Structure 1
Amino acid sequence: MSKNSYHRRKIYFKFIFLLTAFLVTNLTAQDQKAYNDIYTKTYLDISQKDFPRALKIADSLYSISETPRFKAKSLMLSASLLQQSGDIKKAVGFAVKAGEILKNTDEFVWKAKVSGFLASQYRHLKLFDQSKKYIDETTETIKKIDDQRLVNQTMGFVMQEKAYYEMEHKNYQQSIKMVNDAIKYFELSGQSNPFITASNEQLLGLGYFNLGNYKKSLDYYEKSLEKLEKMPDNFLKALVLNGMANIYLAKKDPVSAKPLIDKAQILAEESPFLSLKNEIYQSSQQYYSLTKDIEKLEESKKKQEAVAEKITNNSSAFINDSYTDLKKSNENIAKTSEHKNTTIIIAFLIMLCGAIYFVIYRKRQQRKFDKIQRIIEEMEPSPSVENYKEDNEEQHSTDIPLVAQIDTQPMMTPETEKKILLKLEKFEQSELFNRNNVSLSYVASYCNTNTKYLSYIVNHYKKKDFKNYINELRVKNVIYKLKNDSQYQKYKISTLAEETGFSSQSKFAAAFRKVTGISPSEFLEHLKSQP
């Protein structure tokens, strides 16, 4: 950084500090509005470009705040920023501190916001019982608010959180209902903040996408983007662009997805928001997989795994530290409550194990998903032989390698070798290999050659013996049908075995696993789970 640049940033920060000091110590309605403007700018704009500076501004706001409301508000700004960066422990710590400051006040709106924030954090950790507890606490606090406008506004945020909760549980219709309820509450409150409106539309877009209604989903994403284009670039804009890209990826339209993925990636790289990075790297992998860009696919996968590991480590650290704190606290409790405390520890350990198991399970499921996607792409069979012409021998001649020049006396002439390879190509494009009586002599006869020559060609060019060669053709063929014909997905595995020429279900399953590394039932389960 140049001296001039450093000097400009230093002056800017001092200006922000002095301005916030003036605003907080002079609490007129106009000053409060300006305070809110700085709060919003720090959260949506500065944090995306200079995260450390955003944290310093939030800390400065706290230092100069003189009332519980402003102190709590500045602490919640820090909590929100830290939550984006994945530091859940510190984020929850700031929120708890804000709650303590508000404890003996009648600031019920901000009490509700604090408990709502904590509900969100425990939802991210998959500790849903704890999350629901804070949601219920928020709902009870709202009942104490006198101003109906603020009641409606706060209920709007509660409905948003409930929508996320239902989304986590894959209750997409219920999630959409909750978002629409949130919109009604915000309208009743007279709230017209374009960012909140855009966030509701983004949530609706995500809900309809998960239901497979791509048209409605795209409509809501476009409405959200239209509002966000008028604001500084932020994490929500990246989520919207990513959501739109996912629609085109689901439609197998990588050309339309590319500019959206590119923009979302740029915003994600600039942002400290770990969950955002994780989502966009996952979408990038789908794009690179669809375009068969293996190098960039691996690069994106490494980035996503690094971010996912950091999220997991942060979550595990928070749970472990919480358990340690709980254990220390319980050591000081009287023996009379020992049984009760033991029960609490056991319950927390169960939740801890459940959370860790869930994280590991999700990671394994993601790896299995990636593996199956690669299998689907790599196991595409050869093109149809419908338009195949014998006179294309010359066209193929440059593609087929000549006999290896290892032996001084080749087994056959290059011309014979080419003819057998061309015949074998026609055989691969047919479904004759699915006959249960297919044999080396049968295929040799089909290729107008003898078994010795055919065996040599298969061993030398297919790099496997005849039995495994036939089994691989059968497996690739059945994968293609399962992927492209939903009727095949309804068949029992025994029927698929019979269809592909195997004498038993066990032999089919063994061959399938040998070729793909997974069982037929796992592959079918994956296909049926896709929207």
Structure 2
Amino acid sequence: MRLIISFLFFFILNTGVAQSDKELSEQKYLELQDKIRFSINGNHDEGLTLVKELLKSNNPEHRTFASGAASYLHQLKGDSIRSDQSYADALMYLKKIPESSKKIKIHSYLCNFRGLSYWKRHNYSQALSSYQEGIKLSSQINDVIQVVKFKANMALLNEGVGNFQLSIKILKQNEAFLDKNENLYQKDQFQNAKSNTYTNLGNSYEGYYSKNRNKIQLLDSAEYFYKKAIAYSDKFEDNKITAKLSLGNIYSFKKDFSNAEKIYYDIAIYAKQTNNAFLYQIANFNLGDLYFTLKKYDRALIFLKKVDSISFKNKMLDNSYFKSNYIQAKIYSIKNEPELAYKHSKLYLDSYEKYEGNMREETLEVNYKLGTADLSEEMLDVQEKYKYEVFWNKALKVFYVILVVGIVFFLIKSIRDKNKAHKKMNALIEEFKANLEKKEIENAEIDKAVIEEVFAEAPELDEIQLKKENANLSIDEAKENKIVEKLLALEEKLEYLNADFTLSYVAKKIKTNTTYLSYVVNKRFGKSFGEYSNELKINYVINQMITNHLYRKYSTQAIAESVGFKNAVSFAKSFRKRTGVSPAQFASNI
């Protein structure tokens, strides 16, 4: 009898242990996945509880998603250390998933969670890199819904660094996609996506107004989208609160202080009840700012001091903190209390300098990556891609062999072209470095060696005619030398960086006619004036990239404008013709 009881006890114990760590059904996994996603816009603690439940599964895919979601949930609670730990766990579990489209999809989710975590830390450059990687992964498996999510998150980055018009453009494209493809989403998913899109559109219009205070209609647009966001946020408390807080800002801008005050108090009470320090800090700052505007200075100080207290307690010395000190310095100045005015003005200046310095670096990095990654192009035509998905699946079966041959041929050609381009580029870099060293040693004039022909912008019509005339033209050598000397003098002054450095302009500048000038350039340099001008510009860019590390971070458009090209396209073509690679590729290999 004892033996039977012992056996039963052993069986029950093992069964319990086995069930504590098992693989969940696919349906249960998807249910937990959706609940965790919704918790991101609501109860973060509840989300972390769901994460723990999902981590009980022995399926690495489930654990990867759970750890990735946990990394963002911890970041939302302000815990960057645990956020990083959870993300490291997610990468560990990801390695255990066999190569498949599922692995690519779950990897794209991780990129999204990581990008959002970086965004919350105001590390916009790293966030953008994560989103770019995620778009590549989602595009591999034709996951158009995830691509749209990444585009929406990139819109937030553009808003964060002041690219408001680009942010609005991306978000409106996403809105159109959602409306046309509602059937791709579950009801709650659709409501959440619409809520987020409208909130972000409101934020972008509000930010755009802050830079263009004369365009009052931007506030009307922001108010419209915030109200739509609230209407779609019945099940998403976090979304609703964010939109209401922003709507309060719009009322304040429009001097509707009564409605603004009511919203800010509601938000402060909600934040206090839910222990949301970040939201509580913002609500108190907004109330302090509002009472300062109404000249109720003592009341304003009550709320602004709360901002300082919350900031120090939670180590959140952010935008609200330094603006709070700015307003306090003004209030104490008005109240004729110089010591306190000085104290808060110093706190403001110290924190502002650090905050703005970080923002300038982040803005530069984001705009640089946007330029080199060519992310300003139109959003993927996802609707058409989805429409013809069935057709292409059938076509792939028929053209599979042709496709494989084409891919192999393209890869071989790409590798050869890339190697050739890199050899050419490295040779150019070495050539320019050698010339720079030679210049320093000999203290001589800048090397004027003729470089190989570059892709020139379209020449003027009269220059084409001048080439024909030059064949029968002849002038004395002394006059030629004089023209060349004057050209070299203009080169020394970097005149060629001006956008109006044309044949007629230079002829007038050196007091000769266009016919003589065109003739001398053709004879002495072996090229047309347009080719000669472009050569100087490209030479300047290459030299700057080699000697100036900040110059390498500029966008293609910015570099084109700095040397007088009319547009980035013609500049990029000229640069590639000269070096074999794009400006960004050239810069990254120095």
TM-score bucket of the superposed structures, by smaller chain? 0.5 to 0.7
1:217 and 2:253 equivalent?
no
Unpaired runs of at least 5, structure 2 = 1-19, 40-46, 49-67, 98-102, 210-217, 375-417, 425-452, 459-533, 539-553, 564-590
Displacement of 1:96 in angstroms is: 1.9
Displacement of 1:53 in angstroms is: 2.9
TM-score scaled by structure 2? 0.47
Task: Calculate percent identity across the aligned residue pairs.
Answer: 11
Q: Do the aligned partners of 1:201 and 1:223 also contact (CA within 8 Å) in 2? A: no
Q: Do the aligned partners of 2:284 and 2:306 also contact (CA within 8 Å) in 1? A: yes
How far apart are the structure 1 equivalents of 2:25 and 2:361? 36
How far apart are the structure 2 equivalents of 1:33 and 1:123? 28
1:263 and 2:306 equivalent?
yes
Change (3 A) 1:214 1:47: same
User: Match for residue 93 of structure 1?
Assistant: 129
Moved more, 34-43 or 164-173: 34-43
1:185 and 2:185 equivalent?
no
How far apart are the structure 2 equivalents of 1:314 and 1:151? 36
Q: Do the aligned partners of 2:74 and 2:80 also contact (CA within 8 Å) in 1? A: no
User: Match for residue 347 of structure 1?
Assistant: 557
Change (3 A) 1:115 1:352: farther
Moved more, 140-149 or 114-123: 140-149
1:298 and 2:342 equivalent?
yes
How far apart are the structure 2 equivalents of 1:211 and 1:277? 24
How far apart are the structure 2 equivalents of 1:20 and 1:46? 27
How far apart are the structure 2 equivalents of 1:280 and 1:351? 39
The superposition leaves residues 173-207 of structure 1 with CA deviations (integer Å, 9 ceiling, x where unpaired) of 221111011122334xxxx2222111111011111
The superposition leaves residues 321-371 of structure 1 with CA deviations (integer Å, 9 ceiling, x where unpaired) of 4676689889969999886999x9563458999xxxxxxxxxxxxxxxxxx
Amino acid at match of 1:151: F
1:175 and 2:211 equivalent?
no
Where does 1:377-392 land on structure 2 (aligned, <5 Å)? none
Displacement of 1:28 in angstroms is: 4.6
How far apart are the structure 1 equivalents of 2:207 and 2:316? 23
Amino acid at match of 1:127: N
Displacement of 1:248 in angstroms is: 1.5
Q: Do the aligned partners of 1:159 and 1:182 also contact (CA within 8 Å) in 2? A: yes
Q: Do the aligned partners of 1:120 and 1:131 also contact (CA within 8 Å) in 2? A: yes
Taking only aligned residues, the RMSD between alpha carbons, in angstroms, comes to 4.3
**What secondary structure sits across from 2:233 in the alignment?**
helix
Amino acid at match of 1:100: K
The superposition leaves residues 220-267 of structure 1 with CA deviations (integer Å, 9 ceiling, x where unpaired) of 112222332232323222111111111222222233223322222233
User: Match for residue 57 of structure 1?
Assistant: 86
TM-score scaled by structure 1? 0.52
Amino acid at match of 2:232: Y
Could you tell me which of 337, 347, 352 is aligned with 1:308? 352
How far apart are the structure 1 equivalents of 2:372 and 2:185? 42
User: Match for residue 185 of structure 2?
Assistant: 147
Number of residue equivalences: 331
Change (3 A) 1:77 1:229: farther
Moved more, 305-314 or 208-217: 305-314
Change (3 A) 1:322 1:27: same
Could you tell me which of 326, 350, 356 is aligned with 1:282? 326
Amino acid at match of 1:300: H
1:116 and 2:152 equivalent?
yes
Displacement of 1:272 in angstroms is: 4.5
How far apart are the structure 1 equivalents of 2:287 and 2:323? 13
**What secondary structure sits across from 1:86 in the alignment?**
coil
User: Match for residue 35 of structure 2?
Assistant: 33
Could you tell me which of 250, 266, 278 is aligned with 1:235? 278
How far apart are the structure 2 equivalents of 1:20 and 1:56? 22
User: Match for residue 158 of structure 1?
Assistant: 197
How far apart are the structure 2 equivalents of 1:52 and 1:117? 23
Unpaired runs of at least 5, structure 1 = 1-18, 354-531
Change (3 A) 1:322 1:159: closer
Displacement of 1:41 in angstroms is: 7.8
How far apart are the structure 2 equivalents of 1:126 and 1:318? 11
Amino acid at match of 1:79: G
How far apart are the structure 2 equivalents of 1:107 and 1:230? 39
User: Match for residue 435 of structure 1?
Assistant: none
Change (3 A) 1:264 1:32: same
Moved more, 230-239 or 116-125: 230-239
1:249 and 2:317 equivalent?
no
Could you tell me which of 125, 128, 132 is aligned with 2:161? 125
How far apart are the structure 2 equivalents of 1:232 and 1:93? 32
User: Match for residue 134 of structure 1?
Assistant: 170
